Chains A and B, each alone.
Chain A
């Protein structure tokens, strides 16, 4: 993804350098009070930036930042107490490092189980973790948390200045790491997880691993900040670092500034620190009360955070704006270059004796079938026959009770969904599941960034997939604004961007009007022309009869017929179980193919 820096990136860089320069000379000119405010801002910003890596990008809100903060602080304090290092600067550096390492170790240990929780449950579990640590730190003798650990001063002269630079360095490091994450594959993956975790997995995002990495990075930074905080304070007690209020303050900073943005947490920390210490500094009695009022007022005044003020309908994901090609209708004649249709006898997908039960119900019962490479196959059957279950089995959402699933020459049952995507299996959901918060372009870009292994140009892939789905003109629109028909096409484009060898499409024509159905059929034909095998579940018999090479009929979990469309349509068993009467092609006699 190397593209020339845009004007915006350059401007951001210059502005950043200017701010950094101003901050670097601040201690020389500012009053001690201003310096203290600046310190608070930098500390809060570092915490909120770190929190935002998991909370803002991936949508996993931790209410337990204090766990990492406190662990970092205590580790650093105990480290400097028990390991004698004469040089104060080295002592600080080692203690900080240990604090960060301890926090990230904790994250690595609890990460896997705790990140399986979603939504509020993750938040609460993290609160629980921080409370457990708080109790342990005051209860266990090693931590001496109830009485506190005293830290020897690191510098004799001007500690305010010294720690200002420590916190400045911390905030800059945190921001750089957050920016690096944000514009890496990791960042795109985390954002996809925030938008819809199941879909992200289907597009090939290794969700478990990404969440864990985000969690550990976030914990590392919070642990570092905690250690620095302890040294600045000169002592650590349970109540000074394991404060739940600290955990919630961090969330407030990120929310006020703007979730999931880079600058948001910094702005949020700044506005709260300035309000708290400068505006309300003199009102000791009602100071916290006013803070509460201000938080509520800001929710109403800035509903999407400070950053929300500045953001229009810009693409969220893309680093650099690339000019969109002019809109043009892509007709069937000028579809992307179609390699000679490589329809061969090799099986892309092979199911052997596949079964899946839900309690007593045999949803899939001993199904054997094969899909030829480059073919379009359809699976039909009454509602509840097991079509969606079959798709869920093939895409790894469900594990079979017995039987085997072979993809090309690999057995794939039991593999995680994102691995299947990397191997080249894509899926179009029955109910379109776009990433609502992202633009059309970004939705497809996620597919292009992940998906099947191999080298790629994500931007080009995205543009090609958008062109095939005839969505190029809508690339900058938010996905949430699209009507149903367009959402289906977006779904298809996103699946294609993963460069699949096999696409499973679950009722792609359901809910579409006749024109849209015809367009969808054209697109599926175009997909096949690129050599991709298509497996459809569909109720629209017109569509099935016209497009498919092979039709499979399931009823009550069993495969009752298979073969060319017309043969199947006249099979008495199929008529009885599903069609009701022999299927006749409508007035349009010419096959679309």
Chain B
């Protein structure tokens, strides 16, 4: 019984770390731009398909391809914000970004279906199937690797946001765009960079997700929704919040999966989401960024 509890907790933390990585970009965009990016899930799936292409064409191991894919996604995200989202917001309203990102999600999802078919795919490498035992707990080696990568990447993002000048500019822009501009911050640039960062993290998460789980174009919707859940649990715009939110979501899912029944993890997760919103609408860490007013 105790073993089962520990096993569920460990599984939850391992899965949760990947959820955190997948959602941290969504949280950043919501916190900094106030945009609900409905195409976040499709960017994650983009990362997974890029890993698939790299593996199939040049036989590149997904883990080695990860930095490259993150870089490509950064570019995609940067251009996406600069040339599509930002003009739409300027021309119509902030809310129109909802339509634009929804449209992009539709386009990419169906493009993936055309190119790769609607079937489940996977980039699971051979070493994914080795297990290590620690006491009574079994741990999948790939999950351990994914956990390490997720934590390192989130730590890097936290460090960038906290310590680097660009991070300070991002946080300033998130707090108050006009004030940041008056202090000499090129906020248009900051928005595009934030979006690029968000997409890069989505892409990196997509590679890990592609290795861990089967994926299909239609799974993009779930990943966007996980973004919502994590933001609510952890609060918008902070790396630590996303980590916390993702871990919580992972643990909740694993615990309900182990003790309540396999059918319910999502129901419980969403129930926690709604309760959390009602009790602490600014997340556990309570970072009240511009999107979260």
Residues of chain A at the chain B interface (Cβ within 8 Å):
113-114, 116-121, 123-125, 127-129, 131-132, 135-136, 138-139, 244-245, 248, 251-252, 255-256, 285-289, 291-296, 298-300, 303-304
- A288 partner residues in chain B, CB cutoff 8 A: 106, 109-110
Bound CA–CA A144/B225 (angstroms)? 24
**Contact assessment for B88 and A248 in the assembled complex, using a CB-CB cutoff below 8 Å:** no
Q: Mark B16-42, 1 if CB is under 8 A from A, else 0.
A: 000000000000001000101010000
- List residues of B (264-293) whose CB comes within 8 Å of A's CBs: 264, 266-267, 270-271, 273-274, 277-278, 281, 291-293
A selection of 15 A-B contacts at a CB cut-off of 8 Å is: A114-B277, A128-B270, A128-B271, A128-B273, A131-B267, A139-B267, A244-B225, A248-B38, A251-B98, A252-B102, A255-B99, A285-B114, A289-B110, A293-B107, A299-B92
- B232 partner residues in chain A, CB cutoff 8 A: 121, 124, 128
Bound CA–CA A255/B100 (angstroms)? 11
- A293 partner residues in chain B, CB cutoff 8 A: 103, 107
Say which size band chain B's interface belongs to: 35 or more
Known A114-B277, A128-B232; 10 more pairs at CB < 8 Å:
A117-B281, A123-B36, A125-B278, A127-B225, A128-B277, A132-B274, A289-B106, A292-B103, A293-B107, A304-B92
- A124 partner residues in chain B, CB cutoff 8 A: 228, 231-232, 273, 277
- B100 partner residues in chain A, CB cutoff 8 A: 295-296, 299
Bound CA–CA A114/B267 (angstroms)? 18
- List residues of B (221-241) whose CB comes within 8 Å of A's CBs: 221, 225, 228-229, 231-232
- B270 partner residues in chain A, CB cutoff 8 A: 128-129, 131-132, 135
Query: With A132-B267, A255-B98 known to touch, is A127 a contact of B228 (CB < 8 Å)?
Result: yes
Bound CA–CA A291/B105 (angstroms)? 11
- A245 partner residues in chain B, CB cutoff 8 A: 221
B93, CB-defined interface residue at 8 Å: yes
**Contact assessment for A296 and B99 in the assembled complex, using a CB-CB cutoff below 8 Å:** yes
Query: With A256-B99, A296-B103 known to touch, is A117 a contact of B92 (CB < 8 Å)?
Result: no
Bound CA–CA A234/B264 (angstroms)? 28
- A292 partner residues in chain B, CB cutoff 8 A: 102-107, 110
**Contact assessment for A132 and B99 in the assembled complex, using a CB-CB cutoff below 8 Å:** no
- B99 partner residues in chain A, CB cutoff 8 A: 252, 255-256, 295-296, 298-299
Bound CA–CA A304/B95 (angstroms)? 11
**Contact assessment for B278 and A116 in the assembled complex, using a CB-CB cutoff below 8 Å:** yes
Bound CA–CA A21/B113 (angstroms)? 43
Bound CA–CA A245/B99 (angstroms)? 13
**Contact assessment for B111 and A300 in the assembled complex, using a CB-CB cutoff below 8 Å:** no
- B151 shortest CB reach to chain A, Å: 26
B64, CB-defined interface residue at 8 Å: no
- B33 shortest CB reach to chain A, Å: 12
Bound CA–CA A117/B106 (angstroms)? 28
Bound CA–CA A63/B84 (angstroms)? 23
Bound CA–CA A119/B94 (angstroms)? 12
- A299 partner residues in chain B, CB cutoff 8 A: 88, 91-92, 96, 99-100, 103
Bound CA–CA A113/B103 (angstroms)? 32
- A129 partner residues in chain B, CB cutoff 8 A: 270, 274
Bound CA–CA A298/B88 (angstroms)? 10
- B228 partner residues in chain A, CB cutoff 8 A: 124, 127-128
- A127 partner residues in chain B, CB cutoff 8 A: 225, 228
- A117 partner residues in chain B, CB cutoff 8 A: 277-278, 281
For B228, the closest partner residue in chain A by CB is A124
For A304, the closest partner residue in chain B by CB is B92
B214, CB-defined interface residue at 8 Å: no
- B86 shortest CB reach to chain A, Å: 12
**Contact assessment for A296 and B221 in the assembled complex, using a CB-CB cutoff below 8 Å:** no
**Contact assessment for B84 and A296 in the assembled complex, using a CB-CB cutoff below 8 Å:** yes
- List residues of B (67-97) whose CB comes within 8 Å of A's CBs: 84, 87-88, 91-93, 95-96
**Contact assessment for A300 and B274 in the assembled complex, using a CB-CB cutoff below 8 Å:** no
Bound CA–CA A121/B225 (angstroms)? 13
- B96 partner residues in chain A, CB cutoff 8 A: 255, 299, 303
**Contact assessment for B277 and A120 in the assembled complex, using a CB-CB cutoff below 8 Å:** no
B1, CB-defined interface residue at 8 Å: no
**Contact assessment for B36 and A120 in the assembled complex, using a CB-CB cutoff below 8 Å:** yes
**Contact assessment for A131 and B266 in the assembled complex, using a CB-CB cutoff below 8 Å:** yes
Q: Mark B172-212, 1 if CB is under 8 A from A, else 0.
A: 00000000000000000000000000000000000000000
- A289 partner residues in chain B, CB cutoff 8 A: 106-107, 110-111, 114
- B229 partner residues in chain A, CB cutoff 8 A: 128
- A422 shortest CB reach to chain B, Å: 28
For B95, the closest partner residue in chain A by CB is A255
B2, CB-defined interface residue at 8 Å: no
- A119 partner residues in chain B, CB cutoff 8 A: 291-293
- B111 partner residues in chain A, CB cutoff 8 A: 289
Bound CA–CA A119/B232 (angstroms)? 13
Bound CA–CA A530/B286 (angstroms)? 48
- B182 shortest CB reach to chain A, Å: 19
